[in-house]
Amino acid sequence: MQTKKVKDFPEGFLWGASSSAFQIEGAAYEDGKGLSVMDVRKVKPTVCDYSVASDHYHRYKEDIALMKEMGLKAYRFSIAWTRIFPNGNGEVNQKGIDFYNDLINELKKNDIEPIVTIYHFEYPQGLVDQYGGWIDRRSIDDYATYAELLFRTYGDRVKYWLTINEQDHVVHMPFRLGLTDDNRKEKERLGFLANHNMCVATAKAIKLCHEIVKDGKIGPATCFEMMYPTTNSPADALACMDAMEIRNYYLLDPNILGEYGGTFKRYLEDRNMMPEIHEGDMELLKANKPDFLAFNYYYSESISAFPLDDEHEIGDIEFNLLPSREAGVYQVVKNNNLEATLWGWQIDAVGLQLSARCLWDRYHLPLLITENGFGNKEVWPEEGILQDDDRIEYLSRHISNVREAMNVGVEFLGFCAWSVIDIISGHSGFSKRYGFVYVNRDEHDLKDLARRKKKSFYWYQKVIETNGKNIK
Ligand code: BGP
């Protein structure tokens, strides 16, 4: 609604930016680091691998100096599990421990709050080889042991912790689980088994964090796709509600409410995909709630009904990386009201406000935006600096919708843009850039990896300096 008064961003709002270890660090085979599922992933020849990335491992001081100059209050990054435990469990790698100690100390020295993701996609290949990874219950304790070590080592300085990044994208992208089975339906079943184990592991980490880290706060970092019924037909509205349950809330309900929702339970049971729930699991989940809910938001989706017919039966599902249509449940269609990025991600700033309001209404936890940003193909110009006005426009409109959500009572801890500097995209290598700082390399030509400030760097600096007052 339009209101007479719009609230200002509160003092202490965490203006930040984000990255993840495999996308920014490089040094993939250095200083004792073990292999993760991302290191062994086969990438298309046109796309770079993760071995050098943005070379942050060697240039983190220079990068933190840029963060300081931009005025960042917070930096959200992830720890590479395989730098700490090269095999995922067992022996600890001191050089890995030292690297993150140095990184965290450098941030603290520059008055930048570290927000640490414990695990962001790069699952240790060692655990997949030992017992199959997340689909085995042993994964729960290995994750908890790893998290405990992080809390004991860095918990004196790190007060904001994120348990698992985008669990949904792990569940539905089998390579992130290390699954190689050809049968897609079987991979879905195993994905939901892994999901349950990740939920239990999350609850254990929350418990440990609360026991070990003085004044520590911890929560999951989920992805959230706001969904709209394509038409005002009740069938589309129903499909949309089901899709929200099955795609968005299914893993937050166990994590936050300590229970599986009715729609999701029926969905799993119909498909013989219900994971075995061990005695004590749900009690553990119920007793260990997160302190906040972090979420990543990039786009919304338009949803239509997809009724069963002679050609489709329950369980027929199609993917466009994530599920895109499922017989008897829903299908994603193009929203003609919205523009899209070069990769077809529909740009919808109001969708961020709606997401925040949905999450707040359902869970009543303070929210932290851990990713939001504009991916684009970019080439540094021969003269002047890169004028990334599209990114500025995208972020302005999204931040403005954070303020609108706050205006009607939603609590936010902060906003972290994706990404702090150019880093490797999840699927499109270095051809899809998100950063405030240009990193001078191409897909396969590493050039000099020099850092260059884009126009958006100065714009975000101003946003932070004015505590968001310069946002329309
Ligand atoms: C999220 C991931 C990030 C990042 C981002 C952008 O899903 O948490 O790691 O990659 O999406 O996605 P992409 O790089 O594919 O454009």
- Tens of pLDDT, residue by residue over 97-117, are 999 999 999 999 999 999 999
Residues shown for the chain: 472
CA-proximal residue: ligand 1, atom 4 (nearest): 426
CA of residue 276 relative to chain centroid, distance: 27
**Cα-to-centroid distance, 425 and ligand 1 (Å):** 6
**pLDDT reported for residue 320:** 86
3-state secondary structure 134-190: HHCCHHHHHHHHHHHHHHHHHCCCCCEEEEEECHHHHHCCHHHHCCCCCCHHHHHHH
Ligand 1 atom having least distance to the Cα of 165? 8
Catalytic residue list: 166, 371
- Tokens, residue 415: 């906003």
pTM over 0.95: yes
Contact 345, 428 (CB under 8 A): no
Ligand 1 atom having least distance to the Cα of 345? 16
**Cα-to-centroid distance, 78 and ligand 1 (Å):** 13
**Dist. CA 124–CA 117, nearest whole Å:** 15
Ligand 1 atom having least distance to the Cα of 424? 14
Provide the 10 A C-beta neighbour count for residue 215. 6
**Dist. CA 188–CA 322, nearest whole Å:** 11
**Cα-to-centroid distance, 351 and ligand 1 (Å):** 18
**Ligand 1 probe mutation, 123, 343, 371, most atoms within 8 A of CB:** 371
CA-proximal residue: ligand 1, atom 11 (nearest): 426
**pLDDT reported for residue 175:** 87
Helix (H, G, I), strand (E, B) or coil at 287: helix
**Ligand 1 probe mutation, 120, 166, 172, 176, most atoms within 8 A of CB:** 166
**Dist. CA 378–CA 366, nearest whole Å:** 35
DSSP-derived secondary structure letter, 36: B
**pLDDT reported for residue 129:** 97
Nearest to 201 by CA among 150, 134, 131, 286: 134
pLDDT tens digits for 141-177? 999 999 999 999 999 999 999 999 999 999 998 889 9
Ligand 1 atom having least distance to the Cα of 23? 9
CA of residue 257 relative to chain centroid, distance: 20
**Cα-to-centroid distance, 23 and ligand 1 (Å):** 9
**Cα-to-centroid distance, 259 and ligand 1 (Å):** 28
Query: Nearest 10 degrees: CA dihedral of 419, 323, 170, 167?
Result: 80
Cβ < 6 A, ligand 1 pocket: 20, 23, 165-166, 169, 223, 296, 371, 375, 418, 425-427, 432
CA-proximal residue: ligand 1, atom 14 (nearest): 425
In DSSP terms, 451 is beta-bridged to 439
**Cα-to-centroid distance, 426 and ligand 1 (Å):** 5
**Ranges under pLDDT 50 in the chain:** none
CA-proximal residue: ligand 1, atom 3 (nearest): 426
